[in-house]
A and B are shown apart, each in its own frame.
Chain A
């Protein structure tokens, strides 16, 4: 699978959980690799690349870290949108 396509799937996976469940890295890696029958490492790499450019972001709340879709405010602060 192309990386871009995989990243779209990861994004969709995170979008589906938005507001319902705080996803940990592990949840995304396990969930997406099971869904697409991919190696966990491949998913992890693609997800990390998304975090590096701000398509996803690390979050923190309730005493634990998670991964989520960034808010506009975050993107603006990072200079990724105007």
Chain B
């Protein structure tokens, strides 16, 4: 095996933080591809430019995603990375593993690939970095026969992902792991066979802490919430008062100013609470949501390309999230139908909603306008009226004349 001199990236083995260069070197000890990846990276560091080409046409028979083609422009110099494709494995909900399962994943990867991974990629897949085209079918047969399917790529439903939820968190309002598994199974076809105009991501967080960054990173963000009161354990409040200035740190930081503490008892005007989670996360032993649990559905977030970043917009303030999740699955299908009908190539759903108007989208999925959906109403007087809208306003006025009572 060729020994590369790597003075620049060797610098990145110094210091306390774990080094990715050390990882590459570990893999390179026995793996020609990783060894060339090291040399390849050193060259990038010396010239300050990357050498990977655009993704190419690679994959496993019948699937349109899960493998991302990667070729080097300087493959002759570094033959081990001339082909260096990524394989995405669909991670288990919540990123839980057993050592047995992960060793099996490693064994197969050492046999066919570079021995390098990302645990995990940004979307959530377990990413296997670097293999050759002729190994892909074997890799798929080995993994799928052992229960591991590929994740997604391209113009498809991307691998759904979630927070740890009921696995290890007292704040979750629904079973994020169960929902993510159920949606992933329900929409296998949409994941593996790219039929959309562009990517579509679904992420599920159990509460407004949003540990999976659903609100910023998913076309459909499912954020857990509740409808009942926050239950207060006053004895625990007293305990917190020993180490915390409750008025300063909790009451005064409440965004709706719905709390009151007189030094003895904490009170919450639950009707005015907007469920932001600040007080609950700071006094987790003392405060607990109660009553009906479910989620807020938000739509549209994405990174800046093409005309600026979006955060997801509230579409459905509250929905129950319980197996078999029929209502949610139906909603997702309706959303896709409208998107499919209206999107130009490479348009995310948020962009299409901006183009076509929120009304068109909400009507298509059968959701009424609600003040919970907006931060503030429109500021300009330019608006569409349909004939039906005017007829409805006129009918309301006719009714008012009969009853003698205004309904605004």
Q: Which of B160-212 contact A (CB under 8 A)?
A: 193-195, 197-198
Q: Which secondary structure dominates where chain A touches chain B? A: mixed
Q: Does B55 contact A (CB under 8 A)?
A: yes
Contact in complex: A78, B57 (CB < 8 Å): no
Q: Does B69 contact A (CB under 8 A)?
A: yes
Q: Does B62 contact A (CB under 8 A)?
A: yes
Q: Which of B329-351 contact A (CB under 8 A)?
A: 340, 345-346
Q: Which of B18-64 contact A (CB under 8 A)?
A: 54-57, 59, 61-64
Q: Does B155 contact A (CB under 8 A)?
A: yes
| A61-B155 in contact given A24-B197, A77-B133 (Cβ < 8 Å) | no
Contact in complex: B57, A74 (CB < 8 Å): yes
| Shortest Cβ gap from B38 to chain A (Å) | 27
Number of cross-chain contacts by CB at 8 Å: 61
| A59-B57 in contact given A25-B195, A65-B194, A77-B134 (Cβ < 8 Å) | yes
Q: Does B154 contact A (CB under 8 A)?
A: yes
| Shortest Cβ gap from B139 to chain A (Å) | 13
Q: Which of A14-61 contact B (CB under 8 A)?
A: 24-26, 48, 51-52, 54, 57-61
Contact in complex: A58, B346 (CB < 8 Å): no
List of A residues within 8 angstroms of B154 by Cβ = 58, 60, 64-65
Distance, CA A79 to CA B137, complexed state (A):
10
Closest-by-CB residue of A relative to B195 is A25
| Among candidates B55, B59, B133, B198, residue contacting A58 with C-beta atoms closer than 8 Å | B59
| A64-B54 in contact given A52-B62, A58-B64 (Cβ < 8 Å) | no
Q: Does B156 contact A (CB under 8 A)?
A: yes
Closest-by-CB residue of B relative to A51 is B62
Q: Which of B50-108 contact A (CB under 8 A)?
A: 54-57, 59, 61-65, 69
6 example contacts (A-B, Cβ-Cβ < 8 A) are as follows A24-B155, A25-B194, A60-B59, A60-B153, A61-B56, A67-B64
Give residues in B with beta carbon < 8 Å to A.
54-57, 59, 61-65, 69, 133-134, 137, 153-156, 193-195, 197-198, 340, 345-346
